[in-house]
Every structure is written in C-alpha cells, then in structure tokens.
Amino acid sequence: MSNNDTIQAKVEEFVNDEEAFTSVDIANAIKRDGTWIRNRVVAAWLRDKFFQIIIGGSYSQTMISVGQGKQANLYHPYFFDKNNYTDKDQNALNPDDFNAIHPNTPVTPSTSVSDDSDSDEEQDFNEDSRTVSISLERLWIPSSIINQLGMKPGDYVDSIKLNLKNDPKLTVHHDGRVSASLKDVDPSFGDGDKIKIYVMGDSAVYCRA
C-alpha cells in the first residue's frame, strides 16, 4: 500500500469515528500499526487532500497552539469544541519509539528524521498571517495576503491561489483586498466568525482563529 493510501485509510478511520486530530495523531497511529511514515508527509497530505477526500461538509479545520509554542491544524467535526482537544503536548513517535514497538521492522535514523524534525508539528506556513471577521456573509481577504500571492489591484483573482471552491471571476479591489463569498471560501463559516488567513506554499489557507 502506498503512503497516500495508508494515510487516507487512517484518516477515514478517524473521520468515521468523528474524532478530532492533527497530523501527529494520524502519523503516530500509522506508526503504531507498523508502517514508518514521517509526520511532515502526513501534514502535507492533509493540507493538500483532506477536503478533496472528505466531502459533505462534516469537518472543519482550526489552527490551534500545541507544545513548544508551535501551531498545528486541528481537523474536527463542526460540532467539536477545539478546547476539548487534549493531545496538544504529544510528540511524534521517533525511530527509537517505533523500534521498541516493532522490533522486527526496525527504522534507522538515516531513513527517518535527521533532516525532518519529525517531532515537530507542521510549521511550513508563512508567519505573516492575518485575522479578519466575517460580515454580511463575505470574507475580505487582506492586501498583505493578496500581495504574497502575486496579485495586485485590478488583477483577476487566481481562484487556485486563493483556494476558492469555485471560480467566481473576482478582481482585486483598488485597495488590494479581495471580497469573497463564504460559499466560495468555506460554507461552514458564518457572520461574526474570526478567520485566520495565511499563505502556505503558493495558496491561501483559512481557519477559525
């Protein structure tokens, strides 16, 4: 089974049980099952594929603070209160942990974490994030985010870079901002919600603050 298939199968287990999780929860569960996989690989899969695979509007994504002053994406059912997530201080299993559980399938440091910091949660997002409030069922995406994505006033909006669910044919306003409908961003958001926006790779990410 490929890494993608392994991750998807484990994620579907958590979703079917309506559990909240970060990439560390998924990576550690896979390691306990006997497959070595880096947390960073799981984190990338979740960012890129989770909302393509999990349809029907049952899950949301919220940025939370975890151990050592870091932040992580928490994937959770809409009804779940992020404050009830209790595994914020867990670490990703390292090769010694894995070898202790699975002595017949050892992992050596040379094939694992020397350049990966597998105990870290996902940290490859741009720290220049912005938090905005939703009003009248629209999200005004700040000019700083738009600039990071290479767009300027008058440009047609790149829906892929802005991670919009549809292609609403928007343009960047004269003040550098973009006004997007909630149905194009995340239908689970509502008026009054505070939304954190940041750039990860070459696209925008939205989560409740």
Q: Does 98 score more than 60 pLDDT?
A: yes
Q: Does 7 score more than 60 pLDDT?
A: yes
Domains and CATH numbers, the chain: 3-111 (1.10.10), 130-208 (no CATH)
Is the model more confident about 209 or about 154?
A: 154
Contacts of residues 122-125 at CB distance under 8 Å and 24 or more positions apart, as own/partner, are 122/23, 122/39, 122/40, 122/43, 122/47, 122/72, 122/73, 123/70, 123/71, 124/40, 124/200, 124/201, 125/198, 125/199, 125/200, 125/205
| SS3 letters across 97-108 | HHHHHCCCCCCC
Residues 40-95: pLDDT tens digits? 889 888 887 887 777 556 888 888 888 777 788 899 998 899 889 998 888 888 88
Instruction: Look up residue 3 and give its two tokens.
Output: 């890494």
Residues 104-148: pLDDT tens digits? 887 754 344 433 444 344 444 444 567 888 878 888 998 888 988
* pLDDT at res. 15: 93
